[in-house]
A = this chain, B = another copy of it.
Amino acid sequence: MSTTDLDALAARIPDGSRVAIPTSRHGVAMQATHALINRRVRDLHLVAVPTAGLQVDLLIGAGCVKTVESAGITLDEHGQAPRFVAAVKAGTINVLDTTCPALISAIQAGEKGIPFMPMRGLLGSDLLTHRRDYRVIDNPMASSGDPIVLLPAIVPDFALFHAPLADCHGNVWIGKARELMTMAHAARQTLVSVEEIIDTNLLHDELRSPATIPAPYISAVSVCEQGAWPLPLPDRYAADNDELCRYVLAGKTDSGFIDYLNKQHKPPSLSIAATA
């Protein structure tokens, strides 16, 4: 594990990487995403675990994405993700649609080093029709025919997210967002931005240890205050709805989006601190 700045963190992700990212509520590495966009990464295969929003929309709009695999791309109460919708209509990205539990199960299969995980549901849906990588078998545990879907394991090249806390040993504390642990276990490398780094050992902290990702899973950590802004970080800060409204407005058009991207994007509290 090494501590590094956001640009160096972003530089670790080569073009064409398969990158797992969390839902908008559970700690999105938004500032690291801007660093990725700045370095003009291309052809990413994004795996939303299991849904995503602003982060994917920015990356799509900036031309960084080849494929997005998700159960839902949405700006939640702010509506549709405009660049995602535009790209789908234009046919410029490849969309792998699925359902939330299928994505989670596939990542759990990656975590467990098994080739697939079965899941109930999906049969007779067009999701299944369009997923050539999913398989249907007869449940071998049943006495008579009982078709069930098998999902191939997902082993992302990277997991990328933002967490409240890391320690000086490279352990990362995630709180209740359990799927961050699953993602880190499943991915070949995990890159994390955090609000702060503390000088202790989280694994020896009886209270924090159960929600701590041990350092061996973590390839690099960057400190970035309000790193999820304008998305929320659980138990730390809420979404910045004004900023999200600004984005929705800007994202409606290609030129509005480009203007938005070219502006400085800093949380207001940090801008104030910097000015003062």
A: residues with CB less than 8 A from B are 105, 112-120, 135, 137, 139-142, 146, 148, 150, 152, 174-176, 178, 206-211, 235
Q: Are A137 and B139 in contact (CB under 8 A)?
A: no
Q: Min CB distance, A164 to chain B, in Å?
A: 9
Q: Which of A175, A207, A208, A210 has the most CB of B within 10 A?
A: A210
A120: chain B residues at CB < 8 Å are 113-114
What would 6 more interface pairs be, CB under 8 Å, given A115-B139, A176-B210?
Answer: A105-B112, A115-B142, A116-B118, A135-B141, A141-B150, A174-B210
User: CB < 8 Å: which of B135, B139, B211 contacts A116?
Assistant: B139
Q: Whole-angstrom distance between the alpha carbons of A209 and B148 in the complex?
A: 34
A112: chain B residues at CB < 8 Å are 105
A236 nearest in chain B by CB position: B206
A235 nearest in chain B by CB position: B206
Q: Whole-angstrom distance between the alpha carbons of A21 and B224 in the complex?
A: 43
A207: chain B residues at CB < 8 Å are 207-208
A115 nearest in chain B by CB position: B141
Q: Can you list 8 A-B contacts with CB-CB less than 8 angstroms, sorted by A residue number?
A: A113-B120, A115-B146, A175-B209, A175-B210, A178-B210, A206-B235, A207-B208, A210-B210
Q: Whole-angstrom distance between the alpha carbons of A150 and B148 in the complex?
A: 14
Q: Min CB distance, A128 to chain B, in Å?
A: 14
Q: Are A140 and B148 in contact (CB under 8 A)?
A: no
Q: Contacts A176-B210, A208-B207, A210-B210 hold; do A116 and B137 have CB atoms under 8 A apart? A: no
A178 nearest in chain B by CB position: B210
Q: Min CB distance, A137 to chain B, in Å?
A: 6
A210 nearest in chain B by CB position: B211
User: CB < 8 Å: which of B135, B146, B174 contacts A140?
Assistant: B135
A142: chain B residues at CB < 8 Å are 115
A112 nearest in chain B by CB position: B105
Q: Are B135 and A137 in contact (CB under 8 A)?
A: no
Q: Whole-angstrom distance between the alpha carbons of A112 and B206 in the complex?
A: 28
